[in-house]
A and B are shown apart, each in its own frame.
Chain A
Amino acid sequence: GQQLNQSPQSMFIQEGEDVSMNCTSSSIFNTWLWYKQDPGEGPVLLIALYKAGELTSNGRLTAQFGITRKDSFLNISASIPSDVGIYFCAGQLQGSGYSTLTFGKGTMLLVSP
């Protein structure tokens, strides 16, 4: 089946630092998404990307859909303590009428004040 390799597995940074994480796949996806899971909560969508090469921002978050359609990255600028959580990438292949989301294993982010 489709697999997503997400890295790094975890990060421990100081408040104010920038963060970068990425996701690669052996399969092509038509949609890339980034979700965040706060402790004790379910994942929540942060950013959705629908076009190869697309660069999208949401506040301090920026994500890009790779040209090859096999990768995506997420950057967080000027991190703050509430950025703590697990960040998941997810890919979806459409065109065959229907497909489910495939999730990466997540990047755990810890931010020290």
Chain B
Amino acid sequence: DSGVTQTPKHLITATGQRVTLRCSPRSGDLSVYWYQQSLDQGLQFLIHYYNGEERAKGNILERFSAQQFPDLHSELNLSSLELGDSALYFCASTRGISNTGELFFGEGSRLTVL
């Protein structure tokens, strides 16, 4: 158990819909990272928040947005969903910003768009 909690574990929805994925980082961790894992692309970095502020953006679509709340949990919002958005979405956390490379991953949220 990494200490990172993600909900929901599974989500099935239709094209055009909007969903919210939630992540609670490990106790004491201030950084939250979101990754998308698909079969053909591997683990793609989406976005990083540190202590409530956005720190870096990766290959995140404009239809996607995220935020980190004062209690440090984070939400990833996916809107106008397309079939290609079906993937595993991982949240990871670390204590600080410039970390040693060790990310603590949650178990992921599997999104299926029909």
State the CA gap A88–B41 with chains docked (Å): 12
Give the distance to chain B from A45, nearest Cβ to Cβ, in Å: 5
Decide yes or no whether B30 CB sits under 8 A from chain A.
Answer: no
A41-B107, A42-B2 known; A48 vs B101 contact (CB < 8 Å) = yes
**Interface contact B55-A45, CB-CB below 8 Å:** no
Contacts of B97 in A (CB 8 A): 98
Q: Which residue of B lies closest to A94 (CB)?
A: B98
Give the distance to chain B from A52, nearest Cβ to Cβ, in Å: 15
**Interface contact B100-A101, CB-CB below 8 Å:** no
Decide yes or no whether B84 CB sits under 8 A from chain A.
Answer: no
Q: DSSP majority for the A interface?
A: loop
Interface size, chain B (Cβ < 8 Å): 27
Decide yes or no whether A105 CB sits under 8 A from chain B.
Answer: yes
Decide yes or no whether B49 CB sits under 8 A from chain A.
Answer: no
Report B73-107 residues with CB < 8 Å from chain A CB.
90, 92, 97-98, 100-103, 105-107
State the CA gap A79–B92 with chains docked (Å): 28
Contacts of A98 in B (CB 8 A): 55-56, 97-98
Contacts of A84 in B (CB 8 A): none
**Interface contact B107-A42, CB-CB below 8 Å:** yes
Contacts of A97 in B (CB 8 A): 98
Contacts of A92 in B (CB 8 A): 101
Contacts of B106 in A (CB 8 A): 42
State the CA gap A27–B55 with chains docked (Å): 22
State the CA gap A40–B110 with chains docked (Å): 10
A: residues with CB less than 8 A from B are 1, 31, 33, 40-45, 48, 50, 88, 90, 92, 94, 97-98, 100-106
